[in-house]
Chain A
Amino acid sequence: MADIVDSSCFQRLRNIRQTSYAPLYSASIHNRFIHSLGVYYLGKIAFKAFCNSAMEKFPEIIESSKWERDEKIFCLACLLHDVGHAPFSHCGENFYSSVSYKESKTINNLLIDAVGDNRFTDDVDFYRKGGKEAAPHEIMSAVVAIKNFNEHFNTPEEKDFFARCICGYKYREPIADEKAVKNCLVNLLNSSVIDVDKLDYIIRDSYMTGFQSVSIDYYRLLNSLTIIEKNGEKTLAYHKSALSVIENVVYAHDSERKWIQNHPVILYENFLIQHAIRKVDKYFNDDKKLFSYETLTNEGTDFNKKGKIRLLSDEDIIYNIKNVCGDELTDEFFFRGARRHPIWKSEAEYRALFDGKLNEDYLNSLDSMFEKIERYLLNLEKPIINDEVIKRCHDELKKINENTLISEKNKTNLKEGLSNTINWLSLLKNFCNEHNIPFDLVIITAKQFQSGFLKKDIDNILIYFPEYNESKNIKKIMNILSASKTRERYFYLYYKRDENIIDAEALSKCICRKLFL
């Protein structure tokens, strides 16, 4: 593996930040490089434990399989599972899905071509059509890895297995034992609940931030991995001794999501990064694309007068917003003093502010209203609430009346939405004017996309009881602390704190008056 680790492709990951937690936790500056090595390490432990269990229970599988090659490909997938990550990790990955109208190849096509296996092609199509498509960075990682480290694969079947591990695409039925075992390995790297990727980042993020969470005994957990036969199919399960660790993993994951990922400072950092990437993406995109396979490689893409980009990383985005295509908002990335401040700093503070003033229904209406306004702002050049946006809303209202392509019913909807938006923004404007606060606000709802657990996924984890030679779904045997089913829909409002600090109590009263009108 040394040739891979030393390659420019893999070293690029040193310049891709793992998280955007640094504004809150200064030491949290770890990167995808170290995370990838961590996943490789955990993958080795997991494979060994899994293999030992399989040898004990189903020796015939071991004899008929090419375990050495399977181990190599699985560990290779662990090492390279993030090699196609975009700058700033998840903030940048959506741009891979954007295909210029002059370009015909999507990343899915690139993957299918790189693997070159018919069964894989069919399964990718199945998962795409079923709403189970892998994330863009997963697909791109498989593409980059196969194309750049082709010599590590002996057959198209090996590439197929490798790509499935990274993308989480399990072999579909009917499957023989060999494929069922491989599906267990796919789950070990990419599943909806516990896998070596999540294990590494949960432990590493906690360590790097210093955020006090529960301790995770990963060695105990991975050594509890076992293979069982359930409904006639070989499948992955955990020995009963891992129950407490499984609960800790769920707790630690949800805790990070709740207290770090949804922290207003982190959300604002993501908001700035997203805006910065959009600016740079727009600057470069013409007939060539910035977020593409080519720019990730050593060869790179020549954007003529705009320069050449290769081994695309965080630094390229930072350089360009610093020197080429930045604006007032991207400058906040460098000058933290200019950043807007959240009026409330947690969900609890938000609830406390409105407690006694608004019942749950009114609070839901408020959350929903601001979420809709945020959605409207999301695709604007500058998603900031100011006079410019109010003017834009008025201009759109005029355009609706003049547009003959829009049906009357749709016109009514749009007018209602814009009128509500104008009303709420005007209320905020009046409040700001009365309290000498700049009318320059940002809304961010704390429900932005983050990977997470669904309760039903956790419920389906299989626990093996050797005394009874039986496995049970975890939901049948214990109530595990898990991601809440309730909707996390609350919002943060940020303002420019020049001289005056906003009076949150006065603002909440002003909002309540408006809601009761």
Chain B
Amino acid sequence: MCKFISVEDIVANALIEIYENNGGRKVSFEQLRNYGEGVIRYIKNEKREDAVLLVSRYHMRELVRSYSEFFNLDDTGDSGTYLELRSDKTAEDLRTNFRAYISIDMLLAFTNKNNLHELGVFVKG
């Protein structure tokens, strides 16, 4: 069955890794896109399953509407669009909401070290 990977899952899992490994709180949409495509490739190559990244502007709009308690969207600058973890939230909040209720396969895709490189996160092992 084709898996759907939502933009909120991609953003949250990316920010967990960036926050915990690099101390950062924001990520560019371009990085997210590359990270998400890595996740899709991983599922296709490792699990032989189709997967879809749901990141059109309509999904982004829905992200702003539904998850503004976690993320701020900044698209005002010239350097592109960024998603930022709100100042009153921590990586732990993201873990509780977005990492605890996923399958093992999805977790492995989100934490795959090649995919993390797209976020500027380099982990050993």
Q: How far is the CB of B37 from chain A (nearest CB, A)?
A: 10
Residue of A nearest to B110 (CB): A410
Are B66 and A447 touching (Cβ within 8 A)? yes
Which one of A97, A281, A282, A413 contacts B100 once the chains associate, using CB atoms below 8 Å?
A: A413
Q: Quick one: which of B48, B57, B60, B97 has the most chain A CB within 10 A?
A: B57
Q: How far is the CA of A279 from the CA of B124 in the complex (A)?
A: 39
Please, which residues of chain B bring their CB within 8 A of the CB of A414? 99-100, 102, 104, 107
Are A416 and B57 touching (Cβ within 8 A)? no
Does B45 lie at the interface of the complex (its beta carbon under 8 Å from any beta carbon of A)? Answer: yes
Q: Mark B61-96, 1 if CB is under 8 A from A, else 0.
A: 110111011000101000011000000000000011
Q: How far is the CB of A109 from chain B (nearest CB, A)?
A: 13
Contact A396 to B101, CB < 8 A, known contacts A98-B2, A449-B62: no
The stretch that binds B, out of A133-141, A336-344, A506-514, is A133-141
Q: How far is the CA of A279 from the CA of B55 in the complex (A)?
A: 23
Does B117 lie at the interface of the complex (its beta carbon under 8 Å from any beta carbon of A)? Answer: no
Are A376 and B61 touching (Cβ within 8 A)? no
Are A417 and B50 touching (Cβ within 8 A)? no
Are B104 and A403 touching (Cβ within 8 A)? yes
Q: How far is the CA of A101 from the CA of B60 in the complex (A)?
A: 25
Does B111 lie at the interface of the complex (its beta carbon under 8 Å from any beta carbon of A)? Answer: yes
Please, which residues of chain B bring their CB within 8 A of the CB of A416? 96, 100
Residue of B nearest to A102 (CB): B44
Are B33 and A128 touching (Cβ within 8 A)? yes
Does A100 lie at the interface of the complex (its beta carbon under 8 Å from any beta carbon of B)? Answer: yes
Does A156 lie at the interface of the complex (its beta carbon under 8 Å from any beta carbon of B)? Answer: no
Are B80 and A130 touching (Cβ within 8 A)? yes
Please, which residues of chain A bring their CB within 8 A of the CB of B81? 129-132
Q: Mark A303-338, 1 if CB is under 8 A from B, else 0.
A: 000000000000000000000000000000000000
Q: How far is the CB of B55 from chain A (nearest CB, A)?
A: 7
Are B56 and A406 touching (Cβ within 8 A)? no
Please, which residues of chain A bring their CB within 8 A of the CB of B54? 94, 97, 449
Q: How far is the CA of A168 from the CA of B58 in the complex (A)?
A: 12
Are A95 and B52 touching (Cβ within 8 A)? yes
Please, which residues of chain A bring their CB within 8 A of the CB of B52? 94-95, 97-98
Chain B residues 1 to 54 lying within 8 A of chain A, measured CB to CB, are 1-4, 6, 9, 29-30, 32-33, 41, 44-45, 48, 50-54
Residue of A nearest to B95 (CB): A413
Residue of A nearest to B5 (CB): A379
Contact A410 to B107, CB < 8 A, known contacts A131-B81, A454-B64: yes
Chain A residues 264 to 280 lying within 8 A of chain B, measured CB to CB, are 278-279
Which one of B1, B53, B69 contacts A487 once the chains associate, using CB atoms below 8 Å?
A: B69
Number of B interface residues at 8 Å Cβ cutoff, please give it: 49
Are A136 and B2 touching (Cβ within 8 A)? no
Task: Give the size category of A's interface with B.
Answer: 35 or more
Which one of A135, A379, A405 contacts B4 once the chains associate, using CB atoms below 8 Å?
A: A379
Are B57 and A381 touching (Cβ within 8 A)? no
Please, which residues of chain B bring their CB within 8 A of the CB of A396? 103-104
Does A301 lie at the interface of the complex (its beta carbon under 8 Å from any beta carbon of B)? Answer: no
Are A452 and B57 touching (Cβ within 8 A)? no
Contact A406 to B2, CB < 8 A, known contacts A95-B52, A449-B58: no
Please, which residues of chain B bring their CB within 8 A of the CB of A97? 52-54
Q: How far is the CA of A58 from the CA of B2 in the complex (A)?
A: 52
Q: How far is the CA of A279 from the CA of B1 in the complex (A)?
A: 7
Which one of B9, B65, B97, B102 contacts A368 once the chains associate, using CB atoms below 8 Å?
A: B97
Are A454 and B65 touching (Cβ within 8 A)? yes
Which one of A98, A380, A454 contacts B50 once the chains associate, using CB atoms below 8 Å?
A: A98
Are B100 and A417 touching (Cβ within 8 A)? yes
Which one of B101, B107, B111 contacts A372 once the chains associate, using CB atoms below 8 Å?
A: B101
Please, which residues of chain B bring their CB within 8 A of the CB of A130? 29-30, 75, 80-81
Which one of B9, B44, B61, B66 contacts A101 once the chains associate, using CB atoms below 8 Å?
A: B44
Please, which residues of chain A bring their CB within 8 A of the CB of B107? 406, 410, 414
Does A479 lie at the interface of the complex (its beta carbon under 8 Å from any beta carbon of B)? Answer: no
Q: How far is the CA of A9 from the CA of B95 in the complex (A)?
A: 47
Q: Mark A91-105, 1 if CB is under 8 A from B, else 0.
A: 000110110110000
Contact A410 to B103, CB < 8 A, known contacts A95-B52, A97-B54, A285-B50: no
Are A131 and B55 touching (Cβ within 8 A)? yes
Does A8 lie at the interface of the complex (its beta carbon under 8 Å from any beta carbon of B)? Answer: no
Please, which residues of chain B bring their CB within 8 A of the CB of A168? 57
Q: How far is the CA of A206 from the CA of B68 in the complex (A)?
A: 31
Q: Quick one: which of A97, A399, A403, A409 has the most chain B CB within 10 A?
A: A97
Contact A101 to B100, CB < 8 A, known contacts A135-B58, A406-B108, A413-B95: no
Contact A133 to B57, CB < 8 A, known contacts A373-B101, A406-B104: yes
Residue of B nearest to A285 (CB): B50
Interface pairs (25), CB distance under 8 Å: A97-B53, A101-B41, A101-B48, A129-B80, A130-B29, A131-B60, A133-B57, A281-B50, A285-B2, A372-B101, A379-B3, A400-B104, A405-B108, A406-B104, A409-B95, A410-B111, A413-B95, A413-B96, A447-B62, A449-B54, A449-B58, A449-B59, A454-B61, A487-B66, A489-B66
Known: A101-B45, A413-B95, A449-B54. 8 other contacts (CB 8 A): A101-B41, A130-B30, A131-B60, A192-B61, A368-B97, A396-B103, A410-B107, A410-B111
